[in-house]
Structures are given as structure tokens and as C-alpha cells.
Structure 1
């Protein structure tokens, strides 16, 4: 084994840990999760023949 391999393995382990933590925070397992703002509701207009002219 060369001297680079342990560093590469450590970086991969850190990247995996960060990914798991990001997914955990995003799904709300840790912390409050990511709250999306409420989308404004648009009223649907009925399509009448007058609108299609």
C-alpha cells in the first residue's frame, strides 16, 4: 500500500458521512428538515368557447 491510499480512504469516508448527514437533514431525521415555502394557489378558469376565440 502506498501512502496515498489511507488518505483516499479517509476522504471517501468523510464524503460518505457528509452525504448521509445531508440526506438526514433534508428528510427531517435530524433538525427541522428543509421547509419549502407554500406555493400560492391559482384559481383555475373554466375554458369556455368565448375564451378560445
Structure 2
């Protein structure tokens, strides 16, 4: 019973932000590149926006 409650609470607390985290981390890593960082990060920003 305890495991079921734990799994249920994890599922209800998990939100789209958790699914969008890889896109956001990739975007932040790409933004570090000096000249083309913002342009290169645009697709991963779009990915995160679609998931949210």
C-alpha cells in the first residue's frame, strides 16, 4: 500500500516541467556558445515550449 501511495504521489506531482527538462538543459548548454548560441538554442526552446 505504501508503494502504491508513493507512486501515485510521484505521478501527480510530476508535471510537464520534468518532461521538458532535457530540452531546457540542452538549450542552456547551447546558449554558452559565444556567437551562434541563441540561434542554435532556438529549436530546443521550441521543444520545451511545445511540451509545456
Same fold (TM over 0.5): no
Instruction: Identify the structure with bigger relative contact order (alpha carbons < 8 Å, sequence gap 6+).
Output: 2
Structure having the higher Rg: 1
* Between structures 1 and 2, the one with greater helix share: 2
Query: How would you bin the TM-score normalised by the shorter chain?
Result: 0.3 to 0.5
Q: Normalising to structure 2: TM-score of the pair?
A: 0.34
